Structure formats: structure tokens, C-alpha cells
Structure 1
Amino acid sequence: MTNGTTLRRMALALEGTTAAPHFDRTAFKVARTYLTLAADGLSANFRFMPDEQALKCMLLPAAFSPVPNAWGAQGWTTGLLAAMTDDDLKAALETAWQHARPRPKAAQKTKAK
């Protein structure tokens, strides 16, 4: 079982991560936001790809569920921290963090063409 304090510590240990207020939540980002922590510290929203979201929700249905709106359709997933082990949380954070890292310059040029 994990909590908001553990999430904050693990997220800020990921290279380049910063934390800032985001409405009633705390947003964690590198080049873009990959995670928001609820004010009560009980849940967080992770930025996954839709296929990663489906896998997380299938493997750990007590912990993960799609955010119930268009954000959820894009892969944003709510995680109940008390239903996760530290290992589950670490894996979720690293997956979401990978999507927020800056793209290499070569990939940015290729995408712009």
C-alpha cells in the first residue's frame, strides 16, 4: 500500500521532474505534465497511452481506472494509491514519465515535416 508522500518522493526522483500547483491538484512534469496528485493524496491521474491504460486496468482493476471523460479516452488513468504496492507505483510513474520527456531534436524535425 502506498500514499501521496511516497508518490511525491518517487516522482521527484525521476530526472527533470518538477511539481507545481494545478487547480486543486499538484502536477508533476518534465517537458509536459505526466501526473497529477489529488489534494487529499489518495489518488493520482497518470498519463498513459490507451493500450497501457487498458493493460494497467486489466492487471490491477482495484488500483487503476480510466478518467471518466475525454481525458480518459486519451489514456489518462486514475490510480488509487492505497490499492498499489510501491513497485506498482514505481512502474506506473516510470511509464507516465517516459511520455513526458523531451523528444530528441531529430524526432522533432521528422515530426515537423
Structure 2
Amino acid sequence: MISIETFRNLALSFPDAIEEPHFEKTSFRIKKKIFATFDEKNNHAVLKLNEIDQSVFCSSSEKIFYPIPNKWGKQGWTIVELARVRLEMFEDALIRSYENVASKKK
């Protein structure tokens, strides 16, 4: 299980990452763009993955990773069940999310 403190420490370890509120969630951003959110009520994260990474993570662990069931999911936004995900897998997905958003033009 990934706690909010572990999530926060990992997300803020990336260069220039910041934490800001996002409606009723906590968001982590780079260049003012969200790369991850934490939903305390549902104990899950949402990460911005590219199409290939989303497909790989979701196909390997369908009960842990799955696209948001709307247009946002089709754009790569992926739910991660924090009570089920292994730390190493979460770290890998978070890195990919950060790199995906950080590499975009301003």
C-alpha cells in the first residue's frame, strides 16, 4: 500500500515538482501541468500516461491500473489503486507520468 506521505515524497523528488490543491484532491505539477493527483476519499492516484504506457500498465494489472472511464481516460489519465499497487510498480508509473508531462512544450 502506498501512503500519501510516500506518494508525496516520491512526487516531490522530481526536479521542479510542486504540490497544489486541485478541487478536493492533491495535485503534483511540473510547468503548471498536473502529472499526478491523490484522491484521499477513494485512496487512489491518477497519473498522466502516454497511450503505450497506459496500455502496458493496465494490461499487466487490470485491478490496479485502469483508465478513467471517460474522455480523460482516452487521453492517458489512469487510476492507480494505492491499496493494491507494489511500490516499485507505482514508482515506475509515476516516473513515466512525470516524464510524459515534463517533456511537453509549455
Relative to its length, the structure with more strand (as a share) is 2
Corresponding residue pairs, total? 104
The C-alpha deviation readout for 1:31-88, integer Å capped at 9, x for no partner, is: 1111111033710110001221111001111210100110000010000011111111
Is residue 2:85 matched to residue 1:81? no
Deviation at 1:102, TM superposition (A): 5.2
What residue number does 1:34 align with? Answer: 35
Moved more, 72-81 or 35-44: 35-44
Q: Over residues 75-108 of structure 1, what are the superposed CA-to-partner deviations in whole Å (9 max), with x where a residue is unaligned?
A: 10000011111111110110000012155xxxx5
Task: After TM superposition, list the pairs within 5 Å mapping 1:1-113 onto structure 2.
Answer: 1-31=1-31, 32-40=33-41, 42-101=43-102, 103=104
2:20 maps to amino acid: A
- Alignment RMSD, CA only? 1.5
Which ranges in structure 2 are unaligned for 5 or more consecutive residues?
A: none
On the 8 A contact 1:28/1:34 being kept in 2, the answer is yes
Higher helix share: 1
SS, match of residue 83 in structure 2: helix
Q: Normalized against structure 1, the TM-score is what?
A: 0.85
- Contiguous gaps of at least 5 residues in structure 1: 109-113
| Larger Rg computed on CA atoms | 1
